[in-house]
Amino acid sequence: MSTIAQPHRQIWHTVNLIPAGKVASYGMVADLAGLPGRARLVGKSLSLAPTALLLPWHRVLRATGQLAFPPGSSNALEQTGRLQQEGVVVVNNRVKMQQFRWQPTPADILFMLDY
């Protein structure tokens, strides 16, 4: 069976913990996954993630709150739709991080370390 690099597994695992109605930035996910400074790797991992995993990729955006896709692109539209469906307000292709930022509990951290 194919050997999936650990960093990817860690990243997918972390993204999967983001609760509906909340969002996280690429850098935040990288940090929580034990890969500080590897924000770009998070983007890469999500692009490679099997759709069968049903990861909440739409809850991951840039640190500024901007969606990672160009406004109007099919990806941006789908991401916006999914977020609003969860109650996250998206205006001009961006979200108010101050209001919707996910704040992982100590339990969340432990859950990831345990993995």
Instruction: Please state the closest distance from residue 25 (CB atom) to DNA, in A.
Output: 4
Is 63 a binding residue for DNA by CB under 7 A? The answer is yes
Euclidean distance between CA atoms 74 and 67, whole angstroms: 12
Q: Using the rule CB under 7 A, give the single segment among 23-31, 83-91, 103-111 that binds DNA.
A: 23-31
Q: Angle of helix 39-48 relative to helix 6-15, nearest 10 degrees?
A: 90
Q: Residues in contact with DNA, total (CB under 7 A)?
A: 24
Q: Could you give the CA distance from residue 102 to residue 3 in angstroms, rounded to a whole number? A: 31
Q: Are 23 and 98 in contact (CB under 8 A)?
A: no
Q: Is 43 in the site for DNA (CB under 7 A)?
A: yes
Q: Which residues bind DNA (CB under 7 A)?
A: 5, 7, 25-28, 37-44, 46-47, 49, 57, 60, 62-64, 68-69
